[in-house]
Amino acid sequence: MSLNPALLKQQVYIDGSWVDADSGQTMEVTNPATGDVIGTIPVCGREETKRAIDAAHKALPAWKALTAEARATLMHKLCDEIMAVIDDLAVLLTTEMGKPLAEAKGEIALGVKYIRFFAEEGKRVYGDTIPSPWPDRRILVTKEPVGVVGAITPWNFPNSMIARKLGAALAAGCTMVMKPAEFTPYSALIYGILAEKAGIPAGVVNIVTGDAPAIGEEMCENPLLRKITFTGSTRVGKLLAGNAGKNMKKISMELGGNAPFIVFDDADLDKAVEGAIASKFRNSGQTCVCANRIYVQTGVYDAFAAKLKDAIAVQLKPGNGLEDGSTQGPLINEAALEKVADHVADALAKGGELISGGKRSDGPGTFYEPTLIVGATADMKVANEETFGPLAALFKFETEEDAINRANDTEYGLACYFYTQDLGRTFRVMEALQYGLVGINEGVITTEVAPFGGVKDSGIGNEGSKYGLDDYLNIKYSCLGGL
């Protein structure tokens, strides 16, 4: 399993051309499993971003004038091109990001589902005729693409985070400039190669890499760009939302979370353990919907902890994602590893008990052992900050009310999970949790057909589903008078 050099593009894609940064400057991209340098990418700034926005603006009239069906045909072709090289793309994704190959392939396949879903949904951008209060006038409501979209994406799902945004934007009739995370640029640059192969016109999709703050500033301030869609930290999201707001641009923000995972006494414990493993340890804990605080009711606390410990020992195997059987890839970099180590040290200093893991794995790469700590309390860092790593911390609770209050006691509101077999409790808890996504007896719930979005500091807007397309459309009211 080696990298296909044809898919390792080390230039940026502007107006259908592959180019270097104006300064000629580059930065290195490394493999987190080995520390080896994979290649370089151009360090672009405001100028290159401006040119990319100009290109997207120039391409906009023709792209939005296509029928939804014609756009869908090109989008399906893009998906065919992706699927034709999915094995190579998975190797590339694993090499730059670290996740196990099977997960990389799953991510790319899910990305394709988003693009195909939106390609079809684009045919259903319906308007309204509204009963008029005037006898001689008619009221029409139509929807139009917002225009040029700027997308800034993170490293944890380097393919599918782009697919969600690109799919919705292209289907709505928007053109796009995207900036992937500097740690995982190659899984984004392949969209340039494959869009070109699929026959998507030059300028419709542009990709720049490099100086994130400079690129973000240009996107926020350039009047030709009308929307910013961002997935990443709440800190950067607030910065971008503030700057975009000053220039009255539409925004979609998918930000951090601090997901509670609640196990009630009446839960199916085996299912809850299965869900906890999937929700907590998928992508080595590096997803914004990963369980961060596991609340377990007193009656099943010890039994749940024992079963989770066994499941971790049997099911989780850290290792290079390219190696057969490894389920836990490395953390993305040293800083990410240090954060996990800090949360573990903090929990142990404040009275937590280490049940498994608790240290960096031996050997090269930024691997941290899957870790279980019991006796977690509200004053610990793990209770208040997103760990973004393989630390499962178990908190004990007494009553349903207690669980709800503690689950909601955070500025975040992305995903939450709970396990119960009681129908009344299911509805009470579902309605009381202040979150955008709720997994009930399920630990992994993402699908292209359902909306994905947070409340509170976790963001604004939705991705996926018909609601995800709305975020890329403006509403126009036309009044036809003099009838």
Backbone angles phi, psi at 463, to 5 degrees: -120, 155
426-460 residues labelled b (16+ CB within 10 A) or e (exposed) = beebeeebebbbbbeeebebbebeebbbbebbbbb
Output the six-digit token pair for 227: 């929307």
Instruction: Determine the size of the site formed for ligand ADP (CB under 6 A).
Output: 14
With CB under 6 A as the contact rule, the residue among 182, 274, 385, 470 that binds ligand ADP is 182
Which residues, 6+ apart, have CB-to-CB distance to 23 below 8 Å?
Answer: 43, 45
Q: What DSSP designation does 31 have?
A: -
Between 143 and 179, CB nearer to ligand ADP: 179
Shortest Cβ distance from residue 300 to ligand ADP (Å)?
A: 34
Binding of ligand ADP by 154 (CB under 6 A): yes
We find the least distance from the C-beta atom of residue 389 to ligand ADP, in angstroms, to be 12
What is the closest distance, in whole angstroms, from the C-beta atom of residue 52 to ligand ADP in the complex?
14
Is position 254 annotated as part of the catalytic site?
A: yes
- In order of 165, 284, 287, 313, 351, the CA distances from 369 in angstroms are 33, 9, 17, 11, 20
Q: Which is nearer to ligand ADP, 100 or 256 (CB)?
A: 256
- Rounded to a whole number of angstroms, the minimum distance from the CB of residue 188 to ligand ADP is 9
Q: Among the options 121, 254, 369, 448, which is catalytic?
A: 254
232 binds ligand ADP (CB under 6 A): yes
Q: What is the dihedral of CA 417, 232, 187, 148, to 10 degrees?
A: 120
Residue 338 makes contact with ligand ADP by CB under 6 A: no
Residue in 33, 236, 294, 415 binding ligand ADP, rule: CB under 6 A: 236
Which listed range, 133-141, 175-183, 340-348, 364-372, lies at the site for ligand ADP (CB under 6 A)? 175-183
Confirm or reject binding of residue 152 to ligand ADP (CB under 6 A).
Answer: yes
* CB environment 312-351: b (16+ within 10 A), e (fewer): beeebebbbbbeeebbbbbbbeeebbebbbebbebbeebe
- 239 binding ligand ADP? (CB under 6 A): yes
Site string for ligand ADP, 434-473 (x = CB under 6 A): ----------------------------------------
What is the distance between the alpha carbons of residues 419 and 263, in angstroms, rounded to a whole number? 5
3-state secondary structure at position 222: coil
Interface positions, 17-46, toward ligand ADP (CB under 6 A): none
| 445 Cα distance to chain centroid | 13
Closest distance of CB 433 from ligand ADP, Å: 24
DSSP alpha helix (H) spans, 386-436: 400-408, 423-432
Distance CA 339, CA 331 (A): 10
The reply on whether position 233 binds ligand ADP by CB under 6 A is: yes
Q: For residue 181, state whether it binds ligand ADP (rule: CB under 6 A).
A: yes
Active site residues per annotation: 254
Interface residues with ligand ADP (CB under 6 A) are: 152-154, 179, 181-182, 212-213, 216, 232-233, 236, 239-240
